[in-house]
Amino acid sequence: MRRHHPALRPLTVSLVCLPIVWAAAARAVVLTPDQGSGEQVPAGQRPPDGVVARWSGSATAVAIAPNYVITTNHQGGGVGTSVYIHGVRYTVSAWFRDGTSDFKVAHITRDGVPAGLTDYVDIYPSLNEVGKTALLGGYGDSRGAILTSGGQPYAYKWDGAVGNTVLRWGRNVIDGSGVGYGGGWTSQVLKTDFDDVGTGGYVSWEAATADHDSGSGWFINSAGKWYLAALTRSTEHIGSTWFANYGNPANPDPEQMDAVRLAWYKDWINYILHDIQPGDANLDGTVGIADLATLANNYGKPSGANWNEGDFNHDNAVGIADLVVLADNYGANGSPVPAPEPTTAVLLAPAAVALLRRRRNTR
């Protein structure tokens, strides 16, 4: 008979993600025995609370620069989305994604002014995360009632009573890496599981992800500095977190979870954080014919467009306004440039018209 359950205090640590089966948005839970220091990893042993944000009313995000947060794609949201840090509301003014993976970087402002955050973390720089202990922090659901099978406990129900309004912290060991699919995205991921107290792999403040934890952070401390290693993406079950087998609760059956592995994408992310040149669709640091070709190939896309498709004014469409942005910056090499001469757009126009005509003719 298991004896660990009476020793557990009601859980209040949670994170968010999508289930591995990609059926619906999932949540995060933290299982933590009473160790005399509270129900979650205490301050001083975790990153500052201000690095974790609420993404609208649906998910979590992490601050990675004074004016930028990062989160997953699958929960939605774009320009105009509200982001809350320490109860202060910020607004997404622009967002960027690499086109294939389940994450996006968002520029945020407050009352039209860049956010100027003081708490943020860098992206973890190395692909050596497996085997390291990560701190999981997010605004997902907390642990609810114990679920039983044949009178024996096997899982914890998710308690969504407070929505994504409470930040919680837990720990887990990164067990592996791989590729995660779902929602049209293919992402490099890190993996972990939810080990029961007293079983192999369990760590104090063991944590699992749940609803509203999509985009929550997996943080690694290296040489006294906190880094963001991954963003919660999926969990195995919906509505509950398993630690034992339903058919035979005597056998461990830890919940499987994964998160987008950000070190894999660090160069792209860091480029975004260093002020993209307007009109640079392929992010090569210059604005030229290749960017014009990208815009031409997507010209007329009415919705769902991204920067790397030619949406330079962040209205989710590709049209004449984006062509004007590209024309005004044509020839720029990534460094600040003076306002272009009026002839820039005139000289670019014939090439743009030719490309647009070629695109229509090949349809």
The two beta strands, 68-71 and 82-85, are unpaired
Helix (H) / strand (E) containing 141: none
Domain end (from 220, 240, 275): 275
Whichever domain contains 323, its CATH number is 1.10.1330.10
* Residue 225 and residue 335 in one domain: no
Res 40: pLDDT:
81
Res 356: pLDDT:
59
Reported as a pLDDT band with limits 50, 70 and 90, residue 335 is very low
Q: Which of 27-31, 221-225, 290-294, 351-355 has the lowest mean pLDDT?
A: 27-31
* Residue 207 and residue 317 in one domain: no
3-state SS, one letter per residue, for 330-341: CCCCCCCCCCCC
pLDDT at 300 over 70: yes
β-strand partners of 241: 156
What's the rounded Cα separation, in Å, for the pair 97 and 103?
6
Reported as a pLDDT band with limits 50, 70 and 90, residue 236 is very high
67 sits in the region (left: phi over 0; alpha: psi -120 to 50; else beta) called alpha
* Residue 313 and residue 253 in one domain: no
What pLDDT, in 10s, does the model give residues 238-275? 999 999 999 999 999 999 999 999 999 998 898 888 76
Residue position matching structure tokens 């401390």: 221
What pLDDT, in 10s, does the model give residues 168-204? 899 999 999 999 998 889 999 999 999 888 888 888 8
* Residue 104 and residue 132 in one domain: yes
* Residue 74 and residue 142 in one domain: yes
Which residues lie below 8 Å from residue 113, measured CB to CB, with a gap of 6+? Answer: none
Q: What sign does the CA torsion over 44, 49, 51, 55 have?
A: positive
* Residue 304 and residue 231 in one domain: no
> DSSP 3-state assignment of 104?
strand
What does 5-52 look like in DSSP terms, one character per residue?
Answer: GGGBPPP-B--BBEETT-SS-B--EE--B--SS-SSPPTTSS--GGGE
* Residue 267 and residue 302 in one domain: no
What pLDDT, in 10s, does the model give residues 7-65? 222 222 333 334 333 323 333 344 444 444 456 888 899 999 999 999 998 899 999 99
> How many folded domains does the chain comprise?
2
Number of H helices, E strands in the chain: 4, 21
Domain end (from 233, 257, 275): 275
Tokens of 362: 């090949």
Query: What is the chain's Cα-based Rg?
Result: 23
Whichever domain contains 32, its CATH number is 2.40.10.10
Tokens of 137: 């922090």
Q: Which pTM value belongs to this model?
A: 0.75
Helix (H) / strand (E) containing 356: helix 343-361
* Residue 102 and residue 234 in one domain: yes
Domain end (from 256, 275, 294): 275
354 is in which domain, residue-wise? 277-361
* Residue 110 and residue 9 in one domain: yes
Higher pLDDT, 213 or 302: 213
Higher pLDDT, 120 or 357: 120
Taking CB atoms within 8 Å and a gap of at least 24, the contacts of 342-347 are: none
Q: What sign does the CA torsion over 257, 261, 262, 268 have?
A: negative
Higher pLDDT, 199 or 130: 130
pLDDT at 286 over 50: yes
125 with 227: CB under 8 angstroms? yes
* Residue 88 and residue 232 in one domain: yes
* Residue 99 and residue 142 in one domain: yes
* Residue 282 and residue 190 in one domain: no
